[in-house]
Amino acid sequence: MGMTITEKILAKSAGKRAVAAGDLVDASVDIVMCHDVTTPAAIRMLEERGIDKVFDAEKIVVTPDHFQPAKDIKSAELHKRLDDWAKRHKIKHYYKLGRAGVCHALLPEQGHIRPGEVIIGADSHTCTYGAFAAFSTGIGSTDQAAAIATGKLWFKVPVSEKIVLNGKLNKGVYSKDVIITVITSIGTDGALYKAMEFTGDALSDMSMEARMTMTNMAIEAGAKNGIIGFDDTTKSYLDKHLTERKDYTVFESDGDAEYESIEEFDCSKLEPMVALPHLPSNGVPIGQCAGREMDQAYIGSCTNGRIEDLRIAADILKGREVAVRTIVVPATPTIWKQAKDEGLFDIFYDAGCVIAAPTCGACLGGFMGVLAAGEKCVSTTNRNFVGRMGDPKSEVYLASPATAAASAAEGKLTDPRKYL
């Protein structure tokens, strides 16, 4: 029996010729991602046990992002603990304030993600990096502490579920609409501890930014990881972004690899989608919810804060003025500068938007866009649970940057195709 990409990567990292779904493996970790919320807890666990070491100072990537710049004393203390630890252990890839960015946009952009590798981080959306044919998954702070100290972590090899994306996306429909459709179809536990392997013709027209949007949200279907095979689009991105070490291993799923299930979607029939409160699986076509009044629009996050997303939003907002408060957050300093240099900030400024420094703040209801009771926000983020962006009585509507921008312009949920 053949193996899937996920199984081949875990076999390699565990030093085995083959593994199968359900096997327990002790895997070597290639990259540990660390940010300001969960890593200080891992550091404390290590210190309490007298462990003051890292397995490899060049394989740990550190950036504050959730509460950066520090919003209060407690977040400042988290940053200080992270800063002291990173300096003490001479962490090579430490992105401090001014260079810090939303982790899941920053690591690929700065060349830390390679195909065939095992990447972990104490953040559920670490599955983003699977867009590069890597095994990438979120863990807890306890497992992160173990990985930081030893460079190893055990996994149960997940069963694989193939998501076949057929056809071609129509104008005004984006990868965010695709993943909302998939999650709505299979449910928030439809891929519980599975590897969601995305394939199909529709991927050929998707950029790496668009693909990362889909793997980012694999966890919203309960998946252990999301993964997309290597192709020319992957190679082109890596050729541009890998600067230090350009070697990597490409794995492909065997023709006789075993999948627990295969789900097929005709992307040519998809419309712009909105995930209604309070689950990412509550997706409906825009036609079924257009006209609902909003109080805020948010364009950013590890899901849709990349330059492609900002360009899409700017194309719609150009020459228009927003009808509700609209917050635009480039995900990294590099994206921030690129958006500025391309004139996107002028468009957002003229439209009346707030333009912020890179941060995760609003997505998790921390700062820079917290909602009051009764307020409604159309957001390009990945979660719309009760109280996710603020008061438990607020509501979050997940959508693409195009839908969010069109809705910002009209102050109500709006079909972006109207402006394209």
Per-residue pLDDT tens listing for the chain (420 residues): 799 999 999 999 999 999 999 999 999 999 999 999 999 999 999 999 999 999 999 999 999 999 989 999 999 999 999 999 999 999 999 999 899 999 999 999 999 999 999 999 999 999 999 999 999 999 999 999 999 999 999 999 999 999 999 999 999 999 999 999 999 999 999 999 999 999 999 999 999 999 999 999 999 999 999 999 999 999 999 999 998 888 999 999 999 999 999 999 999 999 999 999 999 999 999 999 999 999 999 999 999 999 999 999 999 999 999 999 999 999 999 999 999 999 999 999 999 999 999 999 999 999 999 999 999 999 999 999 999 999 999 999 999 999 999 999 999 999 999 998
β-bridge partners, 161:
196, 261
Q: What is the model's pTM?
A: 0.95
| 261 and 337 fall within a common domain | no
* 238 plus 290 within the same structural domain: no
Tokens at residue 31, please? 């990259």
Same domain, 200 and 331: no
Q: Which of 221, 241, 265 finishes a domain?
A: 265
The crossing angle, in degrees rounded to 10, of helices 141-150 and 39-48 is 60
Q: Which pLDDT belongs to residue 246?
A: 87
User: Which residues span the domain enclosing 127?
Assistant: 5-265
Indicate the residue among 249, 265, 281 that finishes a domain.
265
- The reply to whether omega before 112 is within 30° of 0 (cis) is no
* Boundary of a domain, candidates 265, 297, 320: 265
**One domain for residues 83 and 151:** yes
Are both 252 and 113 inside the same structural domain?
Answer: yes
Average pLDDT of the chain?
96
User: Is the domain of 222 the same as that of 357?
Assistant: no
Check whether residue 225 and residue 92 sit in a common domain.
yes
**How far is Cα of residue 406 from the mean position of the Cα atoms in its chain?**
23
For CA atoms 225, 132, 383, 36, the dihedral sign is positive
388 and 371 in a common domain: yes
pLDDT tens digit sequence for 83-106: 999 999 999 999 998 999 999 999
**DSSP letter, residue 343:** T
Within 110-174, residue ranges assigned H as helices are 141-150
62 and 158 co-located in one domain: yes
The number of distinct structural domains making up the chain is 2
pLDDT digits (tens, 9 = 90+) for 281-335: 999 999 999 999 999 999 999 999 999 999 999 999 999 999 999 999 999 999 9
Residues 260 and 338 in one domain: no
* 300 lies in the same domain as 253: no
Residue 245 has what pLDDT? 84
**Strand, helix or coil at 219?**
helix
> Do 381 and 303 fall into the same domain?
yes
CATH number at residue 401: 3.30.499.10
